[in-house]
């Protein structure tokens, strides 16, 4: 039995926040789970994928977040509890479905986990998705700990089912990825099979239906607002004439700060776990017992704005502050919050000594793995197209091509944007345009951009970096995979057929680890760009980590620099493999050695320098 299925009511388990979310869903009888992976939410869908057969649930790695919401809401319409998880920017993709789903509602509980990423640990922005709940008009819960994450999942399903509306569980990276004791409930058994009752005048959202459903949504929100006023997740602690309003992990930083400042008996903390609909009555009552209020929250002033509205309504005369003292960008921590609390309330405290990072530490930027086929692709494209070309890129491991020495990324805004923006660049520039996109990202949202480029006869080369997995988020499958842990992935969507089906006439497939052949094909495609139109190069070679970790394929060779490779140094420097160790030979000239522990055995460097030879690894 999987560990997350074991344990009875009252037992404690030491769970990751994302594991606690899974457990909460299991205790609620969830039977349909859909997601596109994205840090910090990926462990949720991966955990359910491991559990699926044991719990009899349908677990879907969806092609993108919009599809995951659409799939799961259908299950919820049929009386089957469903879960969707995604990182914060995923809700941008899903928002088209999400906004109208709030109107249509659900028949069984449906929870949408939106995992925000303050400080952009692995994201392109740090948007605050609490505004999505307010904009869509759906209830939102914000856990601070794994225990709350588990408990709020259970409460979220009950609320969703009671009011017939999806519920957002908004987490942040520190909640998803921290580990803490969690008191368990009972895992609930439910059936996957549902039933559907036709009701087009409530389920088919044409304008006349949408107008009616919007009014129903507003009625639901009024009822749910009453619930938020008495929610057990909205708690108050402490005494005194000063007040702090907070939510999520920020509230934990406040508790630490108050303890370290010795203010527990002078400050009341109102910790909000249900933040939409906003509990105005609860907050008004809180304001009636304090003289000044500081709002402590990460990112945008979501709570602060609501508190100020309540203060205006109830005539609060005290001082309210938030982002004047609390940073608006990046994650908070206890030190930042202590500074804010002490500054606002005028408390003297001693600032901690700032740890200074030694200036002589070597820089270690993120880098493509040794043996990564993307590096070989970038090297060959740069050899053929050089600095003149413009290189729009996309979301995935290959975004690291941004860094020196490759520097093969000129523009990026979101998933799937590389081919769309390449179309725009090609229309207004008299320069070659070469766009990069991964196979998973192409299926996610690159297809529409390719169709657009073909239909408008844009002049560009799209390079699809096909490593046969979703590598950056942990090797999840996608519709085109041919390798799975179990063997061949069937049925699968054939990438070449799909690209041709989009109208692409000029298509080639290469193995980027074959450097000479790849560059030959690229030269031909570069010449073809003079004729206009869209060309596509599928650069296919499996992610070596996927092959070794997931499929058990063992590396057979490493490579060694055995002699004078000075004539090849320029090429090796451009390749920039992270297994290279640069040093000086006896004459003081630069030379390269290869760290055999890091070497991935891809053989690309050996094709650039005859002094580099293979060394067979012992079995």
pLDDT on residue 619: 67
413 part of a folded domain: yes
Whether 152 and 195 share a structural domain = yes
Mean pLDDT of the chain, nearest integer: 95
356 part of a folded domain: no
pLDDT on residue 589: 82
Whether 176 and 244 share a structural domain = no
pLDDT on residue 173: 97
Whether 595 and 487 share a structural domain = no
44 part of a folded domain: yes
pLDDT on residue 283: 98
Whether 521 and 602 share a structural domain = no
Tens digits of residue pLDDT in 275-291: 999 999 999 999 999 99
pLDDT on residue 488: 65
pLDDT on residue 486: 67
d(CA 592, CA 571): 11
Asked whether the whole model's pTM tops 0.85, one would answer: yes
367 part of a folded domain: no
- What is the CATH number for 478? 3.40.50.970
Cis bond before residue 34 (omega within 30° of 0) = no
Tokens of 519: 């560059």
pLDDT on residue 391: 98
332 part of a folded domain: yes
d(CA 448, CA 451): 5
Whether 194 and 280 share a structural domain = no
Tens digits of residue pLDDT in 155-169: 999 999 999 999 999
Which of the four pLDDT bands, split at 50, 70 and 90, describes residue 487?
Answer: low
Residue 482 in this model has a pLDDT that exceeds 80: no
Cα dihedral value 142, 146, 147, 152, nearest 10: 30
- What is the CATH number for 562? 3.30.70
Tens digits of residue pLDDT in 375-400: 999 999 999 999 999 999 999 999 99
Q: How far lies 10's CA from each of 22, 29, 151, 187, 190, in Å?
A: 17, 18, 13, 12, 21
Q: How far lies 456's CA from each of 4, 395, 424, 507, in Å?
A: 51, 24, 10, 18
Which of the four pLDDT bands, split at 50, 70 and 90, describes residue 448?
Answer: very high
> Any idea which residue has 């596509």 for tokens?
536
What is the rounded average pLDDT of the residues 348-360? 82
Beta-carbon contacts of residue 552 (< 8 Å; ≥ 6 apart): none
The SS3 of residue 512 is coil
pLDDT on residue 485: 66
What is the rounded average pLDDT of the residues 126-141? 98
Residue 48 in this model has a pLDDT that exceeds 80: yes
With both helix axes pointing from N to C terminus, report the angle between 515-528 and 373-385 in degrees, rounded to the nearest 10: 50
pLDDT on residue 601: 94
350 part of a folded domain: no
Residue 365 in this model has a pLDDT that exceeds 90: no
Residue 492 CB neighbour total at 10 angstroms? 14
Whether 450 and 431 share a structural domain = yes
> Any idea which residue has 């390449």 for tokens?
422
- What is the CATH number for 283? 3.40.50.920
Whether 151 and 248 share a structural domain = no
Choose the final residue of a domain: 230, 248, 269.
Answer: 230
How many structural domains are present in the chain? 4
Whether 527 and 444 share a structural domain = yes
Residue 214 in this model has a pLDDT that exceeds 70: yes
Whether 543 and 594 share a structural domain = no
Tens digits of residue pLDDT in 551-601: 788 888 999 998 766 778 889 999 999 999 988 887 888 888 999 999 999
423 part of a folded domain: yes
Choose the final residue of a domain: 501, 525, 551.
Answer: 551
564 part of a folded domain: yes
Residue 373 in this model has a pLDDT that exceeds 90: yes
Whether 339 and 384 share a structural domain = no
Tens digits of residue pLDDT in 237-252: 999 999 999 999 999 9
Partners of 61 in the β-ladder = 35
Whether 163 and 83 share a structural domain = yes
Choose the final residue of a domain: 345, 360, 392.
Answer: 345
What pairing do the DSSP bridges indicate for beta strands 612-616 and 82-87?
Answer: unpaired
Whether 116 and 253 share a structural domain = no
pLDDT on residue 552: 81
Tokens of 505: 């006439």
What is the rounded average pLDDT of the residues 506-519? 98
Structural domain boundaries, residue 423: 373-551
CA torsion sign for 456, 461, 462, 468 is positive
d(CA 511, CA 395): 21
Which of the four pLDDT bands, split at 50, 70 and 90, describes residue 268?
Answer: very high
Query: What backbone phi and psi angles, to 5 degrees, belong to 177?
Result: -110, 10
d(CA 221, CA 217): 6
Residue 324 in this model has a pLDDT that exceeds 90: yes
| DSSP string of 297-348, one letter each residue | -SSS-HHHHHHHHHHHHHT--SEEESTTTS-SSS---HHHHHHHHHHHHT--
What pairing do the DSSP bridges indicate for beta strands 110-116 and 82-87?
Answer: parallel
What is the rounded average pLDDT of the residues 506-514? 98
Residues 507, 536 contacting (CB under 8 angstroms) = yes
């Amino acid at each position: 039995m999987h560990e997350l299925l074991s344990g009875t009511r009252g037992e404690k388990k030491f769970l990751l926040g994302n594991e606690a979310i899974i457990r909460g869903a299991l205790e609620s009888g969830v039977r349909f789970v859909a997601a596109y992976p994205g840090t910090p939410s990926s462990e949720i869908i991966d955990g359910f994928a491991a559990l699926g057969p044991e719990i009899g649930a349908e677990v879907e790695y969806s092609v993108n977040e919009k599809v995951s919401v659409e799939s799961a809401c259908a299950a919820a319409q049929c009386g089957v509890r469903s879960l969707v998880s995604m990182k914060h920017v995923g809700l941008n993709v899903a928002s088209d479905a999400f906004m109208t789903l709030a109107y249509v509602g659900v028949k069984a509980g449906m929870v949408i986990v939106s995992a925000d990423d303050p400080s952009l640990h692995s994201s392109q922005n740090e948007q605050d998705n609490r505004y999505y709940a307010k904009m869509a008009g759906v209830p939102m819960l914000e856990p601070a700990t794994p225990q709350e994450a588990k408990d709020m999942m259970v409460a979220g399903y009950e609320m969703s089912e009671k009011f017939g509306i999806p519920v957002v569980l908004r987490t942040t990276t520190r909640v998803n990825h921290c580990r803490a004791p969690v008191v368990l409930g009972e895992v609930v058994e439910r059936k996957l099979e549902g039933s559907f009752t036709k009701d087009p005048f409530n389920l088919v959202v044409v304008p006349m239906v949408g107008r009616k459903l919007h009014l129903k949504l507003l009625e639901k929100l009024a009822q749910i607002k009453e619930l938020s006023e008495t929610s057990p997740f909205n708690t108050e602690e402490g005494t005194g004439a000063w007040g702090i309003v907070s939510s999520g992990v920020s509230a934990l930083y406040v508790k630490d700060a108050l303890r370290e400042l010795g203010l527990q008996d002078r400050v009341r903390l109102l910790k909000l776990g249900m933040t939409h609909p906003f509990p105005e009555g609860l907050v008004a009552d809180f304001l009636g017992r304090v003289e000044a209020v500081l709002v402590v929250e990460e990112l945008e002033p979501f709570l602060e704005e609501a508190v100020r509205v309540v203060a205006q309504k109830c005539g609060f005369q005290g001082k309210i502050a938030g982002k004047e003292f609390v940073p608006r960008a990046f994650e908070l921590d206890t030190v930042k919050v202590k500074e804010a609390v002490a500054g606002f309330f005028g408390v003297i405290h001693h600032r901690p000594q700032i740890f200074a990072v030694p200036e002589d530490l070597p820089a270690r930027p993120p880098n493509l793995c040794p043996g990564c086929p993307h590096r070989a692709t970038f090297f060959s494209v740069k050899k053929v197209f050089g600095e003149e070309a413009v290189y729009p890129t996309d979301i995935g491991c290959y975004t690291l091509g941004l860094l020196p020495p490759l520097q093969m990324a000129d523009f990026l805004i979101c998933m799937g944007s590389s081919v769309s923006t390449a179309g725009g660049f090609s229309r207004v520039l008299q320069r070659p345009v070469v766009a990069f996109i991964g196979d998973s990202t192409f299926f996610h949202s690159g297809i529409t951009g390719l169709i657009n480029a073909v239909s408008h006869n844009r002049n560009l080369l799209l390079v699809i970096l096909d490593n046969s997995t979703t590598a950056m988020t942990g090797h999840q499958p996608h519709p085109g995979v041919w390798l799975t842990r179990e063997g061949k992935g069937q049925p699968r969507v054939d990438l070449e057929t799909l690209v041709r089906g989009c109208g692409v006439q000029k298509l080639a497939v290469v193995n980027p680890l074959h450097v000479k052949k790849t560059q030959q094909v690229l030269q031909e495609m570069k010449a073809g760009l003079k004729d206009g139109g869209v060309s596509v190069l599928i650069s296919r070679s499996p992610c070596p980590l996927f092959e070794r970790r997931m499929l058990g394929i063992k590396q057979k060779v490493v490579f060694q620099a055995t002699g004078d490779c000075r004539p090849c140094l320029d090429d090796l420097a451009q390749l920039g493999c992270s297994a290279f160790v640069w040093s000086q030979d006896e004459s003081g000239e630069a030379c390269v050695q290869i760290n055999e522990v890091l070497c991935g055995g891809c053989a690309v460097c050996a094709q650039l320098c005859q002094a580099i030879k293979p060394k067979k690894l012992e079995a």
